[in-house]
Structures are given as structure tokens and as C-alpha cells.
Amino acid sequence: DVKVTQSSRYLVKRTGEKVFLECVQDMDHENMFWYRQDPGLGLRLIYFSYDVKMKEKGDIPEGYSVSREKKERFSLILESASTNQTSMYLCASSDRGDSDIQYFGAGTRLSVL
Amino acid sequence: GQNIDQPTEMTATEGAIVQINCTYQTSGFNGLFWYQQHAGEAPTFLSYNVLDGLEEKGRFSSFLSRSKGYSYLLLKELQMKDSASYLCAVENQGGKLIFGQGTELSVKP
């Protein structure tokens, strides 16, 4: 079974803090993705990566950055957290040759106060 | 623009059949996915359609019409555990997914 693990289920941070959300997958997948999920808006793509050291902006990259130093790990960084970044964050990974099926982690619910 | 529409909520009875519709308008199309998401859990893959027609997988089936920009997910013999959110997603160029806002299905006894 594919396993995508997100380091925290719940996080509470203060406005202006630097926040790191970590995601690790154990299936040697090339592709990794970060989404946020908000009521009424569905999942929206923040950033994605098709290979180590590589990153591409998704639909809503403002206020976020990412790091992919190793194939199995994809980190989402909020340089200076703001209240409008309170959300559920979901990480996903996919294998380039497997019909692009994305496998998701359980999510991190971030509250910025 | 890119738009994926699905109903916000649906209610059905245990043992019945329910059809969840999804219409899309996207700048590219490589396939359509359906995911299931229980409250507080990760979305899990249900089905993937590339060609027109019906794909059946146990109690769940998914249909695609590319010319109409339309898909549906059919759930038969509904069980209480099928209460969840169902997400429709279109795969764009480069393997990126564009998601609809999800349909919250409530199954009642």
C-alpha cells in the first residue's frame, strides 16, 4: 500500500510565524503535490514537483514556497503565516507511469491566530 | 476559464442507488478521476475514466462523455459507510488535477 505521511494532523501558529509542513511518501513516486482544502472551494493546487530539486507553481502559490531535497520528501513553507492561510493542507504523490493516480496524506489542519 | 460543477449535497437511503453528476469545462483534458473522502480523512481513489463509456468496479461505476463534458459516479446498494464527500477531478496537461468542490453524500437508514 502507498503511504503518504504528513508530519502533523493539527497545528496552531501565530500570525507572522514561519511554518513548515512536511510530507513523506514511501513508494518512490516522482510527483508530489501540495493542496489546500477549504469549504465550498474544493482542493486547490499550491505547488507541485516532478523531480528532486524541481518545483512548479500551482494555482495559488502566493504566500507559500516549497522544498524538495530528497525524492521522498516534499515540504511546504509559509514564510510569514497569515490568518487567511488557516486551512486543511493535503499532500499527494503519484507515479509517472501509473495513470497519474494521486495518493493523499491524511492532511494537516492549520490554524493561524 | 476552468470550471468543474457538482452538486453540493445529496441524500439517499440505505440499499438504494445514487448518481452524482459532474460537468466540466477545462482548457485541457487527459482524464477524469473520482475520489471518496470521509470526514477528517485523506481522499482515496475510486475511478479513472479516459475514454467515453462506463467503467464498473463492484458497487461503484463511473461514466464519461468527453463531447458533453460530463461524468457521473453511480453507487449501488448504498451502505451507511458510503456517507462521505465525493470529489470529481479533471486531469489537465502535465498530470495536474483540477477539483470540483465535492458532493457531500448522506446515506440514511
pLDDT in tens, chain B (109 residues): 688 999 999 999 999 999 999 999 988 899 999 999 999 899 999 999 999 999 999 999 999 999 999 999 999 999 999 999 999 999 987 678 999 999 999 999 9
- d(CA A103, CA A85) in angstroms, rounded, equals 23
Question: How far from A14 is each of A75, A84, A89, CA to CA, in Å?
Answer: 19, 12, 17
Query: Distance from A46 to chain B by nearest Cα, in Å?
Result: 11
Question: How far from A73 is each of A29, A67, A77, A91, B13, CA to CA, in Å?
Answer: 10, 8, 13, 10, 42
Confirm or reject contact between A84 and chain B (CB < 8 A). no
Q: Look-up: residue for cell 513553507?
A: A77
Burial label, A27 (beta-carbon count in 10 A; 0-12, 13-18, 19+) = middle
Best residue of B29, B62, B85, B97 to probe chain A, by most A CBs closer than 10 Å: B97
Give the one of B89, B95, B100 whose C-beta lies nearest to A94's C-beta. B95
Do B71 and B52 touch, CB atoms closer than 8 A?
no
Give the residue among B83, B87, B103 at the shortest CA–CA distance from B12. Answer: B83
Q: Indicate the SS3 state at residue A83.
A: helix
Confirm or reject contact between A25 and chain B (CB < 8 A). no
Q: Indicate the SS3 state at residue B16.
A: coil
B68 half-sphere exposure, CB direction, 13 A CA radius: 11
Contact criterion met (CB < 8 Å) for B96 and A43: no
- d(CA A11, CA A41) in angstroms, rounded, equals 21
- d(CA B55, CA B58) in angstroms, rounded, equals 10
Question: How far from B62 is each of B18, B50, B59, CA to CA, in Å?
Answer: 12, 11, 10
Residues of B with CB under 8 A from a CB of A: 4, 8, 30-31, 33, 35, 40-45, 48, 87, 89, 91, 94-102
- d(CA B108, CA B13) in angstroms, rounded, equals 5
Contact criterion met (CB < 8 Å) for B43 and A104: yes
- d(CA B47, CA B62) in angstroms, rounded, equals 7
Confirm or reject contact between A105 and chain B (CB < 8 A). yes
Query: Distance from A15 to chain B by nearest Cα, in Å?
Result: 25
- Tens-place pLDDT, residues A6-16: 989 999 999 99
Average pLDDT, stretch A85-101?
A: 88
Contact criterion met (CB < 8 Å) for A4 and B42: yes
- Tens-place pLDDT, residues A65-88: 999 999 999 999 999 999 999 999
Contact criterion met (CB < 8 Å) for B99 and A44: yes
